[in-house]
Amino acid sequence: MIPLDPTDRQLVEALQKDGRASYADLSELVGLSPAATRLRVQRLLDAGVVQVVGVTDPLALGYPVMAALGVGVERNVRDVADRIAAIEGVIYVVFTSGSFDLLVEVVCEDSARLLHVIHDEIRSIPDVRSVESFTYFGIHTHRFVWGTR
């Protein structure tokens, strides 16, 4: 992890809003030359502080069925997480505490695919104790601008 000064934080905020902003536009925002701004942004990219990616809308791409899955694991949680992460449609796997060992987010083209993911793929993994599904009715809030204050 690298320390972030106020200029770095301004650049991160600007890139969170528009990852395609030009170095000229960013340089005006932070008061540096475009070349110095490019070096700053590259430093943030190289350190893994920022990744510039295209954010997609699952609905627009034909994946209207989305769910969070709470997964209970008997023993090797990392191995189970790796196996679940390899399943098509799984977009998010996190380790957690409490009722579940893993939280998994999945997007599917239809409910038949979601059923297949849960019952035929995840439940067949050794050490999976339980799977509880929380089907989404819609996305209320989806933020990508955080963590710079």
CATH entry, 65-135, from 3.40.50.300, 1.25.40.10, 3.30.70.920, 3.40.50.2300:
3.30.70.920
Q: Which residues of the chain have pLDDT under 50?
A: none
Provide DSSP, 63-127. Answer: --EEEEEEEEESS-HHHHHHHHHTSTTEEEEEE--SS-SEEEEEEESSHHHHHIIIIIIITTSTT
CATH of domain 6-46: 1.10.10.10
Domain boundaries, the chain: 6-46, 65-135
**Sheet containing 65-73: which strands, arranged edge to edge?**
90-95, 102-108, 65-73, 128-135
Indicate whether this model's pTM tops 0.75. Answer: yes
| 15-57 confidence digits (pLDDT tens) | 999 999 999 999 999 999 999 999 999 999 999 999 998 888 8
